[in-house]
Structure formats: C-alpha cells, structure tokens
Structure 1
C-alpha cells in the first residue's frame, strides 16, 4: 500500500471514529447503557477514547513504514483540533438536526 493511500485511509478512519459517539446510544458502540439516551459527557469521553485509538493506529502505520518520529504537544493539539472538526457532522446530526437526541 502506498503512503498516499494509507494517509487517506487513516483520515477516513478518523472521520468515522470521530462520529461514532454521536450516531449510536451504546458505550463504545458495543455496551448497551441503562439510560435511554447517552449524555454529552459519555460522548466526549468516547471521543477522547477514539482519538487515542486513531493516534495508535497512525503510529503503528508509521512504524510499519519506518521509524516513529517523536511528537511534541503541538502535534497532539493540531490532531485533536482536526479530530474535533471531523466530529462536527455527528454533533450537528445529534444535537441540532435531531433536536436533542429524540
């Protein structure tokens, strides 16, 4: 797989993972919750979890190509902002289009 394809695949994975907390009512898309509607705190915790998963997959892909580059706080700030931007469609669907998850 070329580097260009792997980068686009990682961006697509990030887009799907960023929207997962907003499109279902299960914890981490597997565990059913007792409450009928998942609150925003659970969704933000899931968003942080999926961000860590995507970063881990990206680092594994980087290691497969060569040696990992050490990253500073700037890298995580930029990728975190990008992840939040990718989560915007799911947030709009859940809280603005569907009127509070009804």
Structure 2
C-alpha cells in the first residue's frame, strides 16, 4: 500500500517538474537553449516513461509483471497529463510574465 502512495506522489511530482524549471532537461541553463513548450512536452513524455519504469520495477518486486495493452498506456498517459495541470496553470496562466 505504501508503494502505491509513493508511486502516485512520484507521478504527480514528475508530471509537474517540466513546468517548474526554465532549464532544458534540468541541466542546461536558459541562456544556452530557449525553453519552449516543445521542450516541456518532451520532458513530460520522458518523465512519464521514467515513472512507468519505476512502476514496472515495483510490480516485478511484488509479483509477476502483467502484460498490458495499448489502452492501458493511453489511460495512464491521460492521467499523467491531468496530474500536470497544476504546473501548466502555474507556468502559463497564473505566473506574471518575466518571473
């Protein structure tokens, strides 16, 4: 049960990370490469995949890994995007320009 709560918290944090930083890949400063929505979307996809790997490892520790079909990945991607909504709103709607 604790693993599920930690995984949901990790997913919520990972979904909002691309919108909290102006650094590309959390490494390159904003002076080197301009951070735009395309980079944030790429980071969101990569973090979705990273959380999926963590979930798969946790599932493998508990029992055999169940095979999933494409609709499972579509549903979890949609949930991941919904979890990213607070970060998106903060970055593009709530924050004052120039901050």
Same fold (TM over 0.5): yes
* C-alpha contact (below 8 Å) 1:95/1:101 kept by paired residues: no
TM-score, reference length from structure 1: 0.89
Q: Which residue of 1 aligns with 2:54?
A: 57
RMSD: 1.4
Q: Which residue of 1 aligns with 2:73?
A: 76
Of residues 82, 88, 91, the one that matches 2:85 is 88
Structure 2: gaps spanning 5 or more residues:
none
Structure 1: gaps spanning 5 or more residues:
none
Alpha-carbon distance between aligned partners in 1 of 2:98 and 2:81, rounded to the nearest angstrom: 19
Aligned residues: 98
TM-score, reference length from structure 2: 0.91
Distance 1:71 1:95, change over 3 A: same
